[in-house]
Structure 1
Amino acid sequence: MKLVTYLKDGTEFVGAVTKCRQKIIPLKENGFNYSTMIELIEKITDEEKEKIKKLADSGEGEGRLFMKDVKILAPIPEPKQDIICLGINYMEHAVESVRYKKEAFDGTREFPVYFSKRVNRASGDGDAIPSHSDIIETLDYEAELAVIIGKDAKNVSKEKAFEYVFGYTVINDVTARELQTRHKQWYFGKGLDGFTPMGPVIVTADEIAAPPVLTIKSYVNGELRQNSKTDLLIHDIAYIINELSQGMTLKAGTIIATGTPAGVGMGFVPPKFLVHGDTVTCEIEGIGKITNTVE
């Protein structure tokens, strides 16, 4: 099923999207007392999942709304913790990254690059990307598949990793390249306000085969920039959950952004960074797309 957070009359609600993808079934009006998506992820039972899925599949339920009549927010507007991100997790992106940084690359990536992305509030489809032009000039985009952890994960084996996945969404890991390189770490350059467009929905894990093999694309002003498949991750989802859970507990609701493929702005010669007025669309097969304009 597809779950969404939306704004109606100034209040945030959680709903299920019908199969036609045009309507929302409000969960509270149908007996599911979840105030936020995080609360849903933490508390939902298998029986409740099945009931919500049946409502969404049938298109029935109380208080149905047209999606066009409400504001669709990021599915998790305010994550409880920073997002865990994978850097340089597609080989062709590794190549373009080191070319931009003028570094040597031996063609291998033995260990993952993990970093934390600060998110005060995630942006939804249609929200603006602030240019922060007073402090940066090299604004970039990165389409990524995000994994949502569904239950506390500690010492999880690769074989059981997908038992801990609640679902998936799309993230644009917006980046200020000069801050990223200047500080020799990525927290500041990745964590500015408005740098986490997310959504439009969370697709639950039961709807996507494990591991996901999905087309991932991005467009800038209609021009196709990124075009890859999520099974080309250097370090796949099972590896990531297994490795991280050996040393830390991945709490329910944890968001893991799995990395971006080649085709980001810094990868072009000369680079194609975002400027005021540019429109970026990030799209993943089976999940949907988010479109945001730089302001």
Structure 2
Amino acid sequence: MTGGRLRPGTIFGIGLNYADTIREMGRETPTTPYLFPKLTSSVIGDGEAIVIDTEITSRVDWESELAVVIGETARDVPAAEALGIVRGYTVAQDVSARDLQEADGQWVRGKGLDTFCPLGPEVVPAADVPDPQQLAVRTWLNGERVQEGTTKDMVFTVAELIAYLSSFFTLRPGDVILTGTPSGCGDFRTPRMALKPGDVLVSEVEGIGRLTNPVVAKT
């Protein structure tokens, strides 16, 4: 953390990694992790504002996630050894412009807008998290709980994700892996819900912390 904000190297996003979310979206379960980049310019910290440009997007959604912070340079790491290269864990909010995702047919623009990757409030050392597959993940919108799940429902575990990514890319200290989100996102509800200026979003991972971000309009 630098000045209250994590300064990641590469941010690897993983989509469709919770069985209940896959059902919610009406998608098929992937046979390999669904990978997308999250731009480092989108990172903000705890307490900083998610900025929505209403001229660009009107369907901004929440996705609370466990984030994995890599602690050493590694390539081709076996899953059985993968947790050994983890520096620690933090909370991520993978803010997503669903209309841009839909229009583009891919996720770079919709996931990468400025302020669309809150991270924090701190990195909890890996030694203090005995099992990253046994953590509750929750979201509150204006005090109402809108998301609750558990990392045990991941399709691909943290160790499997590290092994997969390191088979293609060199992982470096400070790189971050966003591990997916449980069901309860706004865009897949009936009626649909979306973030708007004036909202307050709270993202929590059990044993890791709570990340709070107000939502404001671009001025």
TM tier, shorter chain?
over 0.9
Change (3 A) 1:269 1:169: same
Q: Aligned match of 1:290 in 195, 211, 214?
A: 211
* Alignment-derived partner of residue 191 in structure 1: 112
- Give SS of 2:68's match: strand
Answer yes or no: is 1:91 the counterpart of 2:19.
Answer: yes
**Rounded Cα–Cα distance in structure 1 between residues aligned with 2:190 and 2:42:** 33
Structure 1 residues 26-52: Cα deviation after superposition (integer angstroms, max 9, x where no partner): xxxxxxxxxxxxxxxxxxxxxxxxxxx
* Alignment-derived partner of residue 146 in structure 2: 225
* Deviation (angstroms), 1:260: 0.6
- Give SS of 2:102's match: helix
Listed as ranges, the matches of 1:1-295 within 5 Å are: 4-5=1-2, 12=3, 73-74=4-5, 76=6, 78-81=7-10, 83-98=11-26, 105-106=27-28, 108-120=29-41, 122-295=43-216
Structure 1 residues 248-293: Cα deviation after superposition (integer angstroms, max 9, x where no partner): 2111111000001100111211111111111110011111111111
Q: TM-score, normalised by structure 1?
A: 0.71
RMSD after superposition: 1.3
Bigger relative CO (Cα 8 Å, ≥ 6 apart): 2
CA contact (8 A) 1:168 1:203 kept: yes
* Deviation (angstroms), 1:182: 0.7
- Give SS of 1:247's match: coil
**Rounded Cα–Cα distance in structure 1 between residues aligned with 2:17 and 2:61:** 17
**Rounded Cα–Cα distance in structure 1 between residues aligned with 2:42 and 2:30:** 32
Higher Cα Rg: structure 1 or 2? 1
**Rounded Cα–Cα distance in structure 2 between residues aligned with 1:276 and 1:243:** 38
Give the partner amino acid of 2:173: A
* Deviation (angstroms), 1:243: 1.3
Change (3 A) 1:121 1:175: closer
Structure 1's consecutive aligned runs of 4 or more residues displaced over 6 angstroms after TM superposition are none
* Deviation (angstroms), 1:212: 3.6
Percent of aligned pairs with the same amino acid: 39
For this pair of structures, how many residues does the alignment match? 216
**Rounded Cα–Cα distance in structure 2 between residues aligned with 1:210 and 1:159:** 13
Which structure 2 segments of 5+ residues have no match? none
Which structure 1 segments of 5+ residues have no match? 6-11, 13-72, 99-104
CA contact (8 A) 2:88 2:125 kept: yes
CA contact (8 A) 1:162 1:210 kept: no
